[in-house]
Amino acid sequence: MTQNPEEPIRLLLLGHGRMGRAIEQLAPSRGFAIAGTFTAQSNPGGAGLSREALAAVDVVIDFTRPDAALENIRRVAEAGGRMVVGTTGWYDRLDEARQAVERHNAGLVYAANFSLGVQLFYCLAREAARLMARWPQYEPFIIETHHRFKRDAPSGTAQELARQIESHLGARLPVIQSVRAGYVPGTHELGFDTEGETLLLRHAARTRQAFAEGALVAARWVAGETGFHHFSEILDMEART
């Protein structure tokens, strides 16, 4: 999977739902070529991810289902491949995925949300929690709203948001409420509430292009890297250069 810098980065898409189609549409204008697309029917149990199939691509991007993600990761890792995983709902098996990637000297970037704006939202949330730590009367809460087709609840982004602030708030863990309705791409709110007032931070995605852009940023980075990384690590490294 050696990448020639003069050629487009070749992508294999796992999943052709809303996110897969958004990446497919955006990729050519960002210096990528779609080398193939696998669905649940063409890749049952990861069977389509042979060494031969993976030799023809530079990076695999996975937006599938929680029950498919880990086997997809194992197959790509065994071939020493590079991968971006936006599927959520499998994080209880992160250690298994990390071991597979590191054992085979593969490369993987994962995140519950590849929006650059969401990563900045996390930074703001951490600072807000730090400031609120000294004012226990403010009760933290998180509300996340997504389209009715989203399977996991609460969202991976909401859970990550809670993890981002918990070190500052101690036992004052935020209550997470999930809403599934309509066709909302994704909205997350972090609030601090008292009897007299409410403070609110909010991120709202208008289209899936924001997520696709971030996934392609991750794909470009991991095409030449190894190891098991969260998307936030890449942004931190980019900010320091």
**% residues pLDDT > 90 (the chain):** 84
Separation CA 103–CA 96 (nearest Å): 11
pLDDT band at 3 (very low <50, low <70, confident <90, very high): low
Q: Is residue 9 predicted with pLDDT exceeding 60? A: yes
List Cβ neighbours of 100 (8 Å cut-off, separation of 6 or more).
73, 74, 77, 78, 106
d(CA 124, CA 90): 26
Q: What is the CATH architecture of 116-205?
A: 2-Layer Sandwich (3.30)
Where along the chain do the CATH 3.40.50.720 domains lie?
9-110+209-240
The tens digit of pLDDT for each residue in 100-111 reads 999 999 999 999
Instruction: Give residue 171's pLDDT band: very low, low, confident or very high (50, 70, 90).
Output: confident
Please tell me whether residue 18 adopts helix, strand or coil conformation. Answer: helix
What is the reported pLDDT for 1? 46
pLDDT band at 240 (very low <50, low <70, confident <90, very high): low
Across residues 176-203, what is the average pLDDT?
96
- Would you state the pLDDT for residue 170? 85
Which two three-digit tokens encode residue 173? 């863990």
**Structure tokens given for 177:** 């409420």
Asked if 157 and 144 count as a contact pair (C-beta separation under 8 A), the reply is yes
Q: Is the pLDDT of residue 19 over 60?
A: yes
224 or 171: which carries more pLDDT confidence? Answer: 224
pTM of this structure: 0.82
Domain spanning 9-110+209-240, CATH architecture = 3-Layer(aba) Sandwich (3.40)
The boundaries of every CATH 3.30.360.10 domain in the chain are: 116-205
237 pLDDT exceeds 80?
no
Mean of the pLDDT values across residues 72-91? 96
| Whole-number Å distance between alpha carbons of 30 and 216 | 8
Q: How high is the pLDDT of residue 153?
A: 92
Distance between CA atoms of residues 136 and 17, nearest Å = 43
pLDDT score for 239: 63
- Catalytic residue numbers read 146, 150
